[in-house]
Structure 1
């Protein structure tokens, strides 16, 4: 989903803005609750995701798991979902009032308001339709617990890699800014007898670049963020970025297999599964699920649908003849696929963490050498009689 800014005329005649998360502009207008005749404009909020991540409060994953288990238990005891949430979820900590909860009707609406993980929304909707909401919430809790366990497996190496990356970038900018400016002052202003080497010139050149062209570099970063989808389409096949692309495809496949297994267990047929996922997805996955719906309508088997570079090849290989299997056989295939994709996803994550760490370390070491050879060595070898 994307974030949209809905600008409309308020009761006092002033222009007000409301941020809404939706798939399309039409859906944003509908979810905003604002009348069409007072809406001035609806535009995409490119920084909505960042703003939401910084400002929107949500429960940690372990608390979401505990809340789902508790809610399932209360539902089994005969309580309504709304009552169970009032008793078990600290919604006020999220900035949500009882009046906000009272406006919710469907289970998915409750969990969306409470900013639960998308899996909880998906299974709450599926459980509501099948009449097995408590069981669906238990499965959602188990899925989130398993995902959190997988995330923690590569969180430490990824954290180390990110830390190295931050230090490397800081060194790559900080050393030239300090060393380059000081060297320029010593050589061209104070006229000290320092022998300027090629490395010293590089150091001063980087300082000039950073201090005179910073606005262009900042503009490039902003444009890259705004047009990140187009930029990604061009660069996704590059050697290093290909690892990220492969990891994304594996993650997409893993999320589909998990959702497919959970939805079919809840009584969904293949057309219903793809229709449901199409309605709840956005961007490239939405187009892919739409294509899958068309392929199913043409009578193609599910294994053939995933014979596409956008999906991990292991999915199409294992789903060949899937419809001919018994229910137990299908369950085993999906479980094996989940385990295999989880392992592949973890391996890609570890490779990315290692690669990012090596690149960051290379930048850090290069920056230190640049500073040492371009600034420190010329100073200590300076001869007063030159």
Structure 2
């Protein structure tokens, strides 16, 4: 989904803005609760995701898992979902009032308001439709717990790589700014007898570049963020970025298999599954699920649908003849696929973490050598008689 800024005329005649997460502008208008007559404009908020990550309060994943298990238990004891949430979820910590909860009708609306993971929303909706909400919440809790374990395995090496990356970027900018400016001052202003080497010229050149062209660099970063989708389409096949693209495809496949298994267990047929996922997705996945829906209408088997470069090949290989299997056989295939895709996802994550760490270390070492050979060595070898 994307974030939209809905500008409208308030009761006092002032222009007000409301940020809404939706798939389309029409859906944003509907979810905003604002009358069409007073809406001035609806535009995409390109920085909405960053703003939401910084300002929206969410329950930690382990607390979401615990809450889902507790809610499922209370539902089994005969309580309504609204009552169970009032008793078990610290919604006030999220800035949500009882009045906000009272406006919710469907389970998915409750979990969206509480900013639960998308998996909880998906399964809450599926469980509500099938009449097995408690079971769906238990499955959502188990899925989130498994995903959190995988995330932690990836986070350990990635944390070190990101730390090296931050230090490397800081060194790559800081050393030239300090060393280059000081060298320029010593050589051209104070006229010290320093022998300027090629490396010293590179150091001063980087200082000039950073000092005079920083606004263009900042503009390039902003434009890159705004047009990140188009930029990604161009660069996704590059040697290093291809790892990220492969990891994204595996993650997409893993999320589909998990959702497919959970939805079919809740009584969904194949057309219902793809229709449901199409409605709840956005961007490239939305187009892919729409294509899958059309393929099902044409009578193609599910294994043939995933014979596409956008999906991991292991999915199409394992789903060939899937409809001919017994229910137990299908369950085993999906479980094996989940385990295999999780392992592949972890391997890609570890490779990315290792590669990012090596690149960051290379930048850090290069920056240190540049400073040492371009600034420190010329100073200590300076001869007064030159």
Q: Deviations over 1:187-222 (max 9, x none)?
A: 000000000000000000000000000000000000
Equivalences for residues 221-370 of structure 1 within 5 A = 221-370=221-370
Q: TM-score, normalised by structure 1?
A: 1.00
TM-superposition CA deviations, 1:207-242 (whole Å, max 9, x none) = 000000000000000000000000000000000000
**1:103-132 superposed Cα distances (whole Å, 9 cap, x missing partner):** 000000000000000000000000000000
| Whole-Å separation in 2 of the counterparts to 1:91 and 1:234 | 43
Q: Quick one: distance in 1 between partners of 2:146 and 2:33?
A: 37
| Distance across 2 between alignment mates of 1:154 and 1:264 | 29
Runs of 4+ in 1 over 6 A off after TM superposition: none
Which position in structure 2 is the counterpart of 1:70? Answer: 70
1:179 aligns with 2:179: yes
Alignment of 1:31-180 (within 5 A): 31-180=31-180
Question: How many residue pairs were aligned?
Answer: 386
CA distance in 2, matches of 1:44, 1:310: 26
**Partner-residue secondary structure (3-state), 1:239:** coil
Deviation readout 1:1-59 (Å, 9 max, x if unpaired): 00000000011111000000000000000000000010000000000000000000000
CA distance in 1, matches of 2:52, 2:353: 26
How far is the alpha carbon of 1:268 from its aligned partner?
Answer: 0.1
1:300-351 residue CA offsets vs partner (Å, 9 max, x unmatched) = 0000000000000000000000000000000000000000000000000000
CA distance in 2: counterparts of 1:164 and 1:32, whole angstroms = 42
Deviation at 1:142, TM superposition (A): 0.4
Unaligned 5+ segments in structure 2 are none
Using the alignment, how far apart are the partners of 2:231 and 2:211 within structure 1?
26
Q: SS at the partner of 2:240?
A: helix
Distance 2:118 2:8 in 1: 29
Moved more, 147-156 or 343-352: 147-156
SS at 1:377 equivalent: helix
Return the alpha-carbon distance in structure 2 between the equivalents of residues 78 and 330 of structure 1: 33
CA distance in 2, matches of 1:142, 1:157: 24
Summarize deviations over 1:62-102 as a string: whole Å, max 9, x none: 00000000000000000000000000000000000000000
Deviation at 1:154, TM superposition (A): 1.6
Q: Provide the rounded CA distance (Å) in 2 between the counterparts of 1:146 and 1:346.
A: 12
Output the CA distance in 2 between the equivalents of 1:12 and 1:361. Answer: 57
1: CA distance, partners of 2:42 / 2:358: 44
Counterpart CA distance in 2 for 1:2 and 1:327 is: 37
CA distance in 2, matches of 1:149, 1:3: 29
Question: Following the alignment from structure 1 to structure 2, what is the Cα–Cα distance between the partners of residues 96 and 105?
Answer: 16
Give SS of 2:96's match: coil
